[in-house]
Structure 1
């Protein structure tokens, strides 16, 4: 699924109409969750919730103003939360199972194949339900005009700190591209470096949040100097939110660009299958781990592996830092010890040693021959190329 996103240019009345549609979506989703809570579990499924949205349209006039398929999308969101809770219970996931909660800050409304129409120039979109959104001007350079209308399966209006956006979900296959090399590489992600590979290269950790932390805290303090309920306080909150949005976008683009470069240069990519959700329970490192965006990086690795016909292997991270990549002996070391020294004579930077072990484990899992050292000429991951399209998994 390809997602093309445009920023929206509209006046204040249309913004109010969009906000009303978003609030209606939240209302329908929460009513569906309440309906599931009050009904016997065996009697509620996705079809029942879709039928319930029809009943809500008859009961509430403001729900009837929203497109019928948009109401169904809202109940589908509720069912996704319910289904995820059921799956976690069946899998006996440790800890909380994710019991569905009522939503308080919904920021999007989703239409399916009706309730909207594109202008012939594909630079404007008109929403035809009774919410009064009307025609919106699309700002962006994506090639939505190259795709037939029938391939557009969903249209979302998303509210962000810097305005409204329209997303087009296009049902199309991923176009494969040629790799520039056929190397094999192991990646060890960390906090000192974003990742260290088995060829000896260290990708710098950008630390986007740390760099903007002073400015963000200043913007946060400015909120509390304004009187509650006043327009100046609302503007201060928007400035604060825009700074966090900037950091989020920087993380996302960095992870995407780096993953693309790695997969474009290597036929085999091995990385650690880290449980980031458990790692952030360490309150001393949680901010730095979240700032590194490891999960986002691994998701993009899996996507670009398909795009460049590469193989991505996630291996268990156990003992990859303690094990010698040359002889296999266990060399115990603390986190503060940054150099791996073994009695066999192998001396490597700690993260590079772990990256070689990760690559060896991936080769063993695939039936290949493990690599015994980290010396020699490797394939560089420094491919100076920018992404030309916005693709979400």
Structure 2
């Protein structure tokens, strides 16, 4: 599934109607969740049937396209099924019990409720809210696909406007010149990653660089009276700055992952549990700013696109074990140089870890693969979050 995104350009009155549609979609999602909580043995079909009941009971729900109501119920069921899966797998810690959402940011249509113009430069929403015709800004590749290939249309509200995402039913494949190169990478905070050849990529530290401006804008929000127009303006400016930081982080992750996969036939990285790592309050902000999970997700994605291999291996003792002789040399996080007392190998800590990661990755391809293989994450283009997470 390929996701193309364009910005919607219209009048303020049209944007207000889109807001109403988004609120209605959130209402249906929360109602479906409440129906599951209050009744036993509720399945996906029961939630679909609830949509028609809500349309008869509430006039504003009847205005929303029937397939858009079903898509909202699907979102509720996605959260429910994920909770069931976590319980069956006996996932440690919280199992992700579904929660009600206070604010909605998107509404999703399937094959009805919208109509594209012949030149693919405009879209018209035809459901009960009658939001009307919008100009699509930035649809460079949309004319290459037929309307039948577009399976879903999603409206997303962000700090800088409204966007329209087109989910196109097509498999993306690109040619790759196989060179036989293999590389292991060790992500970190000193450098974004160090590979097994000793090369490093600088950590962009996007949030750290924007922190001063963010704090200044946050102070302006705090000084404004709650409910005032000045506060709304200040909140909007703050949200735009956070959105810019998020886009910068994603842009770096995408470009770095693409370059890495294009240059190698095999990429091996650590299957880190970032959720557990950010519990360290001294490093939580830096780890979140580095966005390792986003980077490795895009490595998996491009490995699938280019037909190469991306393998995640267990991270245990990769920094402690010597990449030359395998001797375990214990060291603290502050020790940045690996010195083996058995074979005399002296390397930077991250370089040694990257070489050890590559060794484990090669062993796993010979025997059995560990953790994740290439191409398991379905991501979207032009959006900050993976496609599989948008349905939650």
Q: CA deviation at 1:207?
A: 0.3
Alpha-carbon distance in 2 for matches of 1:137, 1:73 = 24
Counterpart contact for 2:108–2:152, Cα < 8 Å: yes
Q: CA deviation at 1:179?
A: 3.1
* Residue in structure 2 matched with residue 33 of structure 1 by the alignment: 33
Name stretches of at least 5 consecutive residues in structure 1 with no aligned partner: 369-388
Counterpart contact for 2:187–2:194, Cα < 8 Å: yes
Q: Structure 2 length normalisation: TM-score?
A: 0.93
The one-character-per-residue Cα deviations of 1:36-84 (angstroms, maximum 9, x if unpaired) are 11101x2x11111001001100110000000000000000000011111
Does 2:14 align with 1:14?
Answer: yes
* Residue in structure 2 matched with residue 24 of structure 1 by the alignment: 24
* Residue in structure 1 matched with residue 66 of structure 2 by the alignment: 68
Q: CA deviation at 1:141?
A: 4.1
* Residue in structure 1 matched with residue 371 of structure 2 by the alignment: none
2:236 aligned to 238, 242, 267, which one?
238
Q: CA deviation at 1:97?
A: 1.0
* Residue in structure 2 matched with residue 110 of structure 1 by the alignment: 108
Counterpart contact for 1:23–1:106, Cα < 8 Å: yes
Alpha-carbon distance in 2 for matches of 1:210, 1:148 = 44
1:159 aligned to 148, 157, 160, which one?
157
1:144 aligned to 142, 145, 151, which one?
142
Alpha-carbon distance in 2 for matches of 1:360, 1:243 = 42
Give 3-state SS (helix, strand or coil) of 1:366's partner: helix
Q: CA deviation at 1:309?
A: 1.3
Counterpart contact for 2:178–2:265, Cα < 8 Å: no
* Residue in structure 2 matched with residue 282 of structure 1 by the alignment: 280
Alpha-carbon distance in 2 for matches of 1:289, 1:223 = 27
Alpha-carbon distance in 1 for matches of 2:14, 2:208 = 37
Counterpart contact for 1:124–1:135, Cα < 8 Å: yes
* Residue in structure 1 matched with residue 5 of structure 2 by the alignment: 5
Q: Structure 1 length normalisation: TM-score?
A: 0.93
Does 2:205 align with 1:207?
Answer: yes
* Residue in structure 2 matched with residue 378 of structure 1 by the alignment: none
* Residue in structure 2 matched with residue 249 of structure 1 by the alignment: 247
Bigger mean CA offset, 93-102 vs 174-183 = 174-183
Alpha-carbon distance in 1 for matches of 2:208, 2:177 = 34
Alpha-carbon distance in 2 for matches of 1:177, 1:217 = 45
* Residue in structure 2 matched with residue 183 of structure 1 by the alignment: 181
Q: CA deviation at 1:340?
A: 0.6
The one-character-per-residue Cα deviations of 1:187-224 (angstroms, maximum 9, x if unpaired) are 00001110000000011000000000000011001002
The one-character-per-residue Cα deviations of 1:257-314 (angstroms, maximum 9, x if unpaired) are 1110111010111000000111111111111111001001111111110111111110
Name stretches of at least 5 consecutive residues in structure 2 with no aligned partner: 368-380, 388-392
Counterpart contact for 2:5–2:139, Cα < 8 Å: no
Equivalent pairs counted in the alignment come to 371
